[in-house]
Amino acid sequence: MINKKSPIPIYYQLQEQIKNMIEKGELKPGDTISSERQYAEKFKISRMTIRQALTKLVDEGYLYRVKGKGTFVAERKIEQPLQGLTSFTEDMKSRGMKPGSKPLSFEVIPASSSIANHLAIQEYGPVYEIKRIRLADDVPMALETTYISANLIKGLTEEIMINQSLYEYIEDHSRVKIDQAEQIIESSIADQMESQYLKIKKGLPVMLIQRKSFSEDGTPIEFVKSVYRADRYRFMIHMKR
């Protein structure tokens, strides 16, 4: 239903209708969206207007286009609660998804002044620098670079970082208790490398998340920089006044 007499722009009416159908489950992931021509004929509106609506929905991650094939309904975004200090493994398992990691690099390096500052250790002190692609049901979701003092958590190996949860390892193999964290989220645009690893188009929006976790006595445990796919993730927090 498009109301041409409404003060609400036509492209916006169409956009909201498609969005509503996706949210209600009337359109499911993988379903084909009518072509611009079909919409234009059905509603007697210009193809430009339809393109505008569909492009907005593609940008917001509701739809995706495949060259030569058409426009389809995208997978629903993963809704990540912001309260609760959980690991990637726990988050995926609680949704019935298979967590995974693909290693990019694992090194022990001397801490730069910035990393030393974040981890409250001496500059040039040994830190693990671990880069992993985090996967959900084998689909890349985030690119994670983790810094941990090698004097604080001993025995970490690349093997562990691929096959195990970091939080599980810390909790089972050290006396360190992960107690609280600070997290900063900001938006960015995927660069060449990020888009390649996350399997998204260069220039698509991503979210940069920086987490610093602490033990009960306030010792920093990890400093993590992550790049999350904005087309697959959204964050939710419950607020009370």
Q: Which residues bind ligand 16G (CB under 6 A)?
A: 87-89, 99, 144, 146, 165-168, 209, 211, 222, 224, 226
Nearest residue (CB) to ligand 16G, 11 versus 88 = 88
Residue pair 156/128 in contact by the 8 Å Cβ criterion: yes
Between 10-24 and 47-59, two packed helices, what is the crossing angle to 10 degrees?
50
Angle in degrees, CA 22, 23, 25, rounded to 5: 65
Least distance (Å) between residue 189 CB and ligand 16G: 19
Least distance (Å) between residue 88 CB and ligand 16G: 4
Least distance (Å) between residue 170 CB and ligand 16G: 8
Nearest residue (CB) to ligand 16G, 13 versus 89 = 89
3-state secondary structure of 234: strand
Question: In this structure, what DSSP letter does residue 38 have?
Answer: H
Nearest residue (CB) to ligand 16G, 71 versus 146 = 146
Nearest residue (CB) to ligand 16G, 131 versus 211 = 211
For residue 149, the tally of other CB atoms under 10 A from its CB is 23
Least distance (Å) between residue 61 CB and ligand 16G: 19
Least distance (Å) between residue 176 CB and ligand 16G: 13
Least distance (Å) between residue 73 CB and ligand 16G: 27
Q: How far apart are CA 14 and CA 57, in angstroms?
A: 10
Residue pair 154/172 in contact by the 8 Å Cβ criterion: no
Nearest residue (CB) to ligand 16G, 48 versus 184 = 184
What is each CA distance from 234 to 74, 87, 177, 231, in whole angstroms? 14, 16, 28, 8
Least distance (Å) between residue 7 CB and ligand 16G: 42
Nearest residue (CB) to ligand 16G, 21 versus 85 = 85
* The amino acid at 210: Q
Cβ neighbors of 84 (< 8 A, separation 6 or more) are none
List phi, psi (to 5°) of 225. -110, 125
For residue 228, the tally of other CB atoms under 10 A from its CB is 23
Structure tokens that stand for 15 in this block: 């956009």
Nearest residue (CB) to ligand 16G, 146 versus 195 = 146
